[in-house]
């Protein structure tokens, strides 16, 4: 059976304090011992990975990202795409909040991946590494490079060249 190169993970976050205060109800539930969730009363969806409200940052990293880091070291490209509405927990899962002030166990997948990649590089003195990173936000149908402060005034476009390599082109307005 051919392996599909795209995997989809869902992480269900717990209700926030303000949601509890406003008597909001949980609308997404896990089906135990499966990779399925129920939305509402009866809409069932299946994913490659499902993480419940008590899942840890380490669990998400180890299951979903650590295999990608291993592939990176072998020379393959990897992309992590966090999708969800505002307030759904993307920033927490990706970064863990403000990186400098976050507890070790709360660190998200970016700081964990960076630490692991550079640890592997430091242990492999006989190997040359070239690291290229993009950190792009799509918000209201606009792209913003989060690693380059000046892109708020630029028009970003993601393109693929004839060799299948992806990159960004910047057009100044």
> Does residue 86 have a known ligand-binding role?
yes
> Does residue 97 have a known ligand-binding role?
no
Q: Alpha helix locations (H) across 26-80?
A: 57-60, 66-73
> Does residue 85 have a known ligand-binding role?
yes
Query: Within 10 Å of residue 64's Cβ, how many Cβ atoms?
Result: 19
* Cα-Cα-Cα-Cα dihedral sign, residues 8, 66, 107, 120: negative
> Does residue 79 have a known ligand-binding role?
no
> Does residue 151 have a known ligand-binding role?
no
Task: Sort strands 43-46 and 154-160 into parallel, antiparallel or unpaired.
Answer: unpaired
> Does residue 89 have a known ligand-binding role?
yes
* Residues near 91 by beta carbon (within 8 Å), at least 6 away in sequence: 97, 108
Task: Sort strands 142-145 and 28-31 into parallel, antiparallel or unpaired.
Answer: unpaired
> Does residue 93 have a known ligand-binding role?
no
Residues marked as binding? 84-91
Residues marked as binding for ATP? 84-91
């Amino acid at each position: 059976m051919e392996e599909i190169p795209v995997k989809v993970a869902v992480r269900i976050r717990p209700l926030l304090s303000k949601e509890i205060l406003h008597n909001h109800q949980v609308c997404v539930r896990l089906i135990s011992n499966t990779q399925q969730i129920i939305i509402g009363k009866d809409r069932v969806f299946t994913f490659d990975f499902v993480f419940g409200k008590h899942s840890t940052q380490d669990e998400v990293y180890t299951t979903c990202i650590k295999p990608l880091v291993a592939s990176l070291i072998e020379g393959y490209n990897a992309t992590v795409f966090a999708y969800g509405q505002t307030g759904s927990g993307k920033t927490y899962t990706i970064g863990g909040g403000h990186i400098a002030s976050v507890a070790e166990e709360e660190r998200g997948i970016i700081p964990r991946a960076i630490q692991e990649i550079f640890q592997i590089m430091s242990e492999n003195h006989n190997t040359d590494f070239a690291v290229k990173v993009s950190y792009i936000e799509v918000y209201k149908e606009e792209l913003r490079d989060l690693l380059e402060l000046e892109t708020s005034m630029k028009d970003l476009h993601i393109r693929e060249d004839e060799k299948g390599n992806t990159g960004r082109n910047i057009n100044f307005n």
